[in-house]
Amino acid sequence: MKKDENVRRGNWGNQIEFVLTSVGYAVGLGNVWRFPYLCYRNGGGAFMFPYFIMLVFCGIPLFFLELSFGQFASLGCLGVWKVSPIFKGVGYGMMVVSTYIGIYYNVVICIAFYYFFMSMTNLLPWTYCNNPWNTPDCSGVVGGGNYSNGSSVTLMANVSAMINHTAKRTSPSEEYWKYYVLNISDDIGNFGNVRLPILGCLACSWTVVFLCLIRGVKSSGKVVYFTATFPYVVLTILFVRGITLEGAINGIKYYLTPQWSIILDAKVWGDAASQIFYSLGCAWGGLITMASYNKFHNNCYRDSIIISVTNCATSVYAGFVIFSILGFMAHHLGVDVSQVADHGPGLAFVAYPEALTLLPISPLWSLLFFFMLILLGLGTQFCLLETLVTAIVDEIGSDWIIKNKTFVTLGVAIIGFLLGVPLTTQAGIYWLLLMDNYAASFSLVVISCIMCVAIMYIYGYRNYFKDVEMMLGFPPPIFFQICWRFVSPVIIFFILVFTVVQYKPITYNDYTYPNWAVAIGFLMALSSVICIPGYALFKRLKNATKPDGNWGPALREHRSGRYAPMLNTDLDLSKEDQSIHPVKKPEEISLTIQGSNGSAQDSGQ
């Protein structure tokens, strides 16, 4: 329907663009480098049970809540809080979180860019130990000959197995990562030099993100046809290659074999809930932002189920891809899969690249793997940047800023690049992991919990259910009504308690972070949460310093000059009060006037 278009602000070209963008946003690096590791550490196949329970009772309801919230108001994470202005600090908190994530996430993407470029060679540079950056402790998994020399590989496997019994083996890929790519310093405070190749790749990464968002959702909506779908092509290619390798089945068994004995362990349920929550991107502001460009009557209920299930299915599928290759590598080394399994940057830039060196035409597989990581990262980065830009543009709201949105995008991209420069120094990896551990941890849980309470209990669940019915043509199913009001907030609170109880000071390999660095981490976490009471206090104080509406001369005949309009206002208000007083159903009065996107937005001004 043409009248459903929001001409001034813009909409997605079609519904597929929104679904693909949201899939690209939700499916990120964590699906590949975090979920498979969590799964095998928490009981293998048994972990799937609490994982899908948490998906149904927490993941999908929260996803639907944020999509419907943004779509109803057609506003970003700041503008939507016209629903309850005192809670606008929640929107600012989401912006702060998205800023932190956007800064370090693009650094991870730029490192993937670097590995991608370095894979354009006949021999991967992390294959052997005969490079200038290698140490005497280096021990490779590939022998001196080529891959087809089976006896050489077997000999090296035996040697590596013996080394593993006497000392921790340092692989060529690990030394390449630490001493060449990062040239890592000995302390988080020792920044050293900027790694120019990484800085160049960071500039490349931000340029790609800006160009894809140059026309907002109109341009990014076209790009996601490739960035959101091609990773699945690569995953399938790597999966087919992986399961045909010797030892792959052992890796998959390690990944999936159920250990039902630990299913009652609270840590397993806590990890499942946390992974669902963080993986779907709840409370980042991105879901609200993406949904705000939907047409008003779009079925976001259907979309939320499709996107959430796709996200979780991708995590499970990625586990097969990762563990089939790791099983193959463990088989060649003659060690247990647990000794080669890793997560985070250690999996993406050390363990998996090392396993790829064992394959024929290893540069091809390396190119495919890092290209997949780049696309997975970019899909999330698009939404992080769009979240910030949309919030700024909606907040200012003038025709000029809407017309010149491209310059806002450019400005945010340049600032993001400059703030990411310290992460390209020799101490950059320490700061990256500090931001990853603290900037988007318990603060997200607090933001999400307050958002649920504000919508359900301050604005009112009856009002919200009627808003959803006005938008979709049917009220939220009873299951979602119960989850929004009771179940999901309880699970979110459980995640918060679990996060606090399970807290351990951050480390990186054998390096323990100093107290001042941990303090900075907590300040980053608090900086987003403090926005909520901070803005509420500011709002109260701002209103407290304004004169009361009845301020002025007591007698009406004395109210002249600037007090004259107040007389008219008072009379109008009294008449209006009399006219609406007989209506005793205040819960039916929605904060947003019915109508299309444009009229709903204008009326809320």
Nearest CA to 177 out of 404, 304, 356, 346 is that of 346
**183 assigned ligand-binding residue:** no
Supply 513's token pair. Answer: 């972070």
The first and second tokens of residue 218, run together, are 């109109």
Q: Of the candidates 229, 140, 98, 199, which has an alpha carbon nearest to the alpha carbon of residue 423? A: 199
Q: What is the DSSP string of 495-518?
A: HHHHHHHT----EETTEEPPHHHH
Residue 441 among known ligand-binding residues? no
Short-list 333, 334, 332, 341, CA closest to 253? 341
Binding residue per annotation — 311?
Answer: yes
- Triad 543, 549, 555: Cα angle to 5°: 150
Q: Tally Cβ neighbours within 10 Å of residue 535.
A: 20
Q: What letter does residue 87 receive in the DSSP assignment? A: G
Q: How far apart are CA 199 and CA 197, in angstroms?
A: 5
* 391 appears as a binding residue in the annotation: no
Cβ neighbours, 10 Å, residue 354: 26
Helix (H) or strand (E) holding 297: none
Check whether 73 is labelled as a binding-site residue: no
Residue tagged 């996200």 (tokens): 311
CA-CA distance, 293 to 297, in Å (whole number)? 12
CB 26 within 8 A of CB 307: yes
| Three-state SS at 188 | coil
376 is in an annotated binding site: yes
Determine whether the annotation assigns residue 164 to a binding site: no
Q: Which helix (H) or strand (E) holds 14?
A: none
- Residues 29, 8: Cα–Cα separation, whole Å: 35
State the binding site for Na(+). 24, 26-27, 31, 279, 311, 376
State the binding site. 24, 26-27, 31, 279, 311, 376
